[in-house]
Amino acid sequence: MSPAAAKIKTESTVNETPSLVIETRGLKKTYFGKINVPVLHGLDIKIYAREFVAIIGQSGSGKSTLLNILGALDVPTGGKVFVNGTDISLLDEDELAQLRSEEVGFIFQGHFLLNEFSCLENALMPITIRHGEADEEQRLRVLKLLERVGLSDQTNKFPDEMSGGQNQRCAIVRSLANAPKIILADEPTGNLDSRSGEEVFQLMREMNRESGVAFVMITHDDRLAQEADRILLIEDGNIFEISKEEHRERIAKII
């Protein structure tokens, strides 16, 4: 168990143990072509409920590839991925789609809201796709989430009528619409100015603490990585957990 997860366990009640929401065993990924390019070399990762984990590494190190595999958007060439104890390699396409809908939420660098739908309609989209229509309870829950992130006065506005930060906050609510166990965020503040980026990050951190959903975030922002519970570094196709002090030392060497 990671130090952060152990700390969570200590602070929890005696009978409450953080559940393992994602685990990889010997995860490998190679891109095949005229030249085969191995990207991930056998990663063993454990992510627990209520954790906020930052993944860092140089461009091209395989961070986004890893996130896509964790979210069942891509297929590894070796090893296993377990989401809430389920070996996802055993699932067919329909079952994978259901898993993505029920267990995993996604936040990307671009908000990817649909311009022809309002803020509320975009936030409800995962529910609409899954159930055909949101019931009153689901609608009220999403409205409360929009209020929580400061968008209660934007529900009827369209993406091109809102700021970049507002669109990304709507994307956060969308990722939480189906009450997933884990959120995978790929550079969620990358397209925002520093102030909006900090606000979006703090909202994700608060949602993590309030709802218990685990967050795994790829980031190039060293300040945000420092605020995570754990920092995982991808380097030369391998993954390492580094302390915040080690991370600060690496930054100091670069500067």
Tokens 């990307």 correspond to 108
User: How confident is the model at residue 194, as a pLDDT?
Assistant: 87
- 177-186 confidence digits (pLDDT tens): 988 999 999 9
Q: What percent of the chain has pLDDT over 70?
A: 93
pLDDT greater than 80 at residue 6: no
| Confidence category of residue 13, pLDDT binned at 50, 70, 90 | very low
- 89-147 confidence digits (pLDDT tens): 999 999 999 899 889 999 988 889 999 999 999 999 999 988 888 899 999 999 999 99
Is-contact 200 189, C-beta < 8 A? yes
How many independent structural domains does the chain possess?
1
Element (H, E) at 151: none
Domain CATH number, residue 210: 3.40.50.300
- Residue 55 belongs to some domain of the structure: yes
- Among residues 65, 100, 66, 89, the alpha carbon closest in space to that of 181 is found at 100
Range of the domain at 192: 3-7+18-254
- Residue 12 belongs to some domain of the structure: no
| Confidence category of residue 18, pLDDT binned at 50, 70, 90 | confident
- Residue 13 belongs to some domain of the structure: no
Cα(106)–Cα(217) distance, integer angstroms: 10
Beta strands in the chain (DSSP E): 20-31, 37-48, 52-56, 78-83, 86-87, 104-107, 182-186, 214-218, 230-235, 238-242
Identity of the residue numbered 120: L
pLDDT greater than 60 at residue 226: yes
- Residue 226 belongs to some domain of the structure: yes
Q: What angle do CA 83, 119, 219 make, to 5 degrees?
A: 45
User: How confident is the model at residue 255, as a pLDDT?
Assistant: 60
| Confidence category of residue 8, pLDDT binned at 50, 70, 90 | very low
Identity of the residue numbered 98: Q
Is-contact 157 117, C-beta < 8 A? no
| Confidence category of residue 10, pLDDT binned at 50, 70, 90 | very low
pLDDT greater than 70 at residue 5: no
